[in-house]
């Protein structure tokens, strides 16, 4: 039995119990990638260029261009100078363009026709398959709504279950084509969360994903949500995942992945989960992150982590490393909080920010 066959078996075992599961009480959070602001750095320019290219290709219905971009972004050239994956921005823009139909018609995914046409034109392309599975899942959540399980209307559960099951079935039958793209596993992890897969099955999937793509950080970031206390985990399991990420990426990234993992936690505004941080691991991990990726994008995130931890010396150190004004990467509230941590000492960029706080 192949891995995907086992996945659908897991879904069948738990999907009927979802409506009554305490672990499913929290609905899937909205994407935080629909508004982007990263300041003016070479790293930010690369992100914007990638996202603009995807937008233009979708608008022009240029399937060949979309395939070429997907292939490039999952290759060696698909990372920015900060080590971030352009492939994730590819799927965020693609998903955003396709999900807009869910907002204009009640939970109707018009974008599916676009993806079906793309698959017909390029049947060996992984991107339209992965994107369609994500669209089906989003349609399920559209029916379900964002509330707690006990607030969901009884008639909403069936279309939710049906769409999630359809997404799993699509990925199952397409494994040979779609699993060459690491975002395939990100999508599966999201679906495992949606169906409440048992931990043993979830870890088997995570092991398979990281064995094939150990340096695709979005796999770990997606797995984090499974381990949140309001889903299926605990603070201890969050930190165990962060240390698992170190083990999988140590050969090239040392321990720096630990800091990147918890920056992602901070980025999603899940600050209560930062209680899981092990300071003895975090402090050298932050220093190693700065050493391995010595660019402004790194320094601003390390400054944000330092301010959260109220580490005055570290915050001042990382802010002093910035070469350009990066206050646009902060919300005014975050920036003022950090200024309060730093105190009255001179700061490189004390002017009020005008950004969104979305500096990923």
CA atoms within 13 A on the CB side of 15: 21
Give Rg (Cα) of the chain.
21
* CA pair distance 20, 57, nearest whole angstrom: 42
Dihedral angle sign, alpha carbons of residues 70, 71, 72, 73: positive
**Which positions ≥6 away from 77 have C-beta within 8 Å?**
none
For residue 262, name the pLDDT band (cuts at 50, 70, 90). very high
**Cβ of 106: how many Cβ atoms within 10 Å?**
8
CA distances from 111 to 117, 142, 271, 316 (A): 10, 14, 35, 47
Which residue from 29, 32, 69 is spatially nearest to 53, judged by alpha carbons?
Answer: 69
User: Higher confidence at residue 241 or residue 334?
Assistant: 241
State what percent of residues in the chain have pLDDT above 90: 52
Dihedral over Cα of 76, 179, 137, 52: its sign: positive
- Domain coordinates in residue numbering, the chain: 1-197
- The strand pairing partners of 79, in sequence order, are 85
Q: Please answer whether residues 355 and 330 qualify as being in contact, where contact means their C-beta atoms are separated by less than 8 angstroms.
A: yes
| pLDDT at residue 270 in the model | 85
SS3 category, 79: strand
Other beta carbons within 10 Å of 237: 18
The count of other CB atoms within 10 Å of the CB of residue 92 is 18
3-state helix, strand, coil in the chain (%, to 5): 70, 0, 30
pLDDT at 327: 57
At 87 the pLDDT is 95
CA 87 distance to own-chain centroid = 11
Distance CA 7, CA 1 (A): 10
Give one word for 40, left, alpha or beta, with left for phi > 0 and alpha for psi -120 to 50. Answer: beta
Closest CA to 53 of 101, 109, 93: 93
Structure confidence by residue, pLDDT tens digits, 222-257:
999 999 998 999 999 999 999 999 999 999 999 999
Residue 102 is predicted with a pLDDT of 54
Written as six digits, the tokens of 28 are 């899937």
Q: Please state, in angstroms and rounded to a whole number, the distance separating the CA atoms of residues 318 and 353.
A: 17
Read off the pLDDT of each residue in 328-357 and give the average, rounded to a whole number: 62
* Inter-residue contact 330 to 353 (CB < 8 Å): yes
pTM of the model: 0.84
Look at 18-27, 136-145, 299-308, 323-332 and tell me which has the smallest mean pLDDT.
Answer: 18-27
Average pLDDT over the chain, rounded to an integer: 82
Q: Which residues lie closer than 8 Å to 300 by C-beta, 6 or more apart?
A: 39, 318, 322, 326, 329, 330, 359
pLDDT digits (tens, 9 = 90+) for 60-118: 999 999 999 999 999 988 898 888 899 999 999 999 888 775 555 678 767 888 999 99
Mean pLDDT of 301-320: 88
Neighbouring-strand partners of residue 85: 79
8 Å CB contact between 320 and 297:
no
The pLDDT confidence band at residue 326, using thresholds 50, 70 and 90, is low
- pLDDT at residue 25 above 80? no
pLDDT 10s digits, 109-154: 678 889 999 999 999 999 999 999 999 999 998 888 877 778 888 9
Instruction: Specify the pLDDT at position 116.
Output: 94
- Which has the closest alpha carbon to 140: 11, 285, 289? 11
Question: Could you tell me which of 250, 318, 308, 310 has the C-alpha nearest to residue 281?
Answer: 250
Question: What's residue 169's pLDDT?
Answer: 95
Kindly report, residue by residue over 159-185, the tens digit of the pLDDT.
999 999 999 999 989 999 999 999 999
Supply 174's token pair.
């397409």
* Other beta carbons within 10 Å of 52: 11
Share of the chain above pLDDT 70, in %: 81
- The pLDDT value recorded for residue 1 is 37
């Amino acid at each position: 039995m192949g891995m995907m066959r086992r996945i659908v078996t897991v879904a069948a075992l738990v999907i009927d119990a979802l409506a009554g599961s305490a672990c499913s009480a929290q609905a899937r959070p909205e994407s935080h990638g629909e508004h982007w602001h990263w300041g003016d750095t070479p790293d930010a320019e690369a992100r914007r260029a990638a996202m603009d290219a995807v937008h233009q290709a979708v608008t022009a219905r240029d399937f060949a261009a979309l395939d070429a971009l997907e292939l490039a972004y999952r290759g060696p050239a698909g990372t920015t100078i900060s080590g971030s994956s352009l492939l994730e921005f590819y799927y965020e823009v693609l998903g955003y363009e396709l999900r807009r139909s869910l907002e204009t018609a009640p939970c109707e995914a018009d974008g599916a026709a676009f993806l079906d046409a793309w698959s017909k034109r390029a049947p060996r392309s992984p991107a339209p398959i992965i994107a369609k599975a994500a669209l089906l899942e989003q349609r399920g959540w559209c029916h379900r709504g964002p509330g707690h399980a006990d607030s969901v209307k009884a008639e909403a559960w069936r279309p939710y279950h049906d769409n999630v099951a359809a997404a799993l079935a699509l990925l199952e039958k397409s494994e040979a084509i779609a699993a060459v793209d690491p975002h395939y596993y990100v999508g599966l992890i999201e679906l495992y969360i949606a169906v409440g897969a048992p931990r043993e099955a979830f870890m088997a999937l995570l092991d398979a994903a990281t064995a094939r793509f150990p340096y695709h950080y979005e796999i770990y970031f997606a797995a984090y949500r499974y381990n949140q206390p309001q889903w299926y985990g605990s603070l201890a399991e969050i930190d165990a995942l962060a240390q698992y990420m170190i083990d999988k990426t140590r050969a090239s990234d040392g321990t720096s992945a630990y800091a990147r993992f918890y920056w992602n936690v901070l980025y999603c505004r899940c600050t209560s989960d930062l209680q899981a941080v092990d300071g003895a691991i975090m402090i050298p991990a932050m220093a190693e992150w700065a050493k391995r990726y010595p660019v402004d994008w790194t320094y601003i995130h390390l400054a944000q982590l330092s301010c959260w931890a109220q580490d005055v010396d570290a915050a001042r150190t990382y802010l002093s490393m910035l070469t350009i004004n990066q206050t646009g990467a902060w919300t005014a509230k975050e920036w003022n909080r950090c200024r309060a941590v730093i105190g009255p000492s001179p700061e490189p960029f004390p002017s009020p920010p005008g950004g969104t706080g979305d500096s990923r």
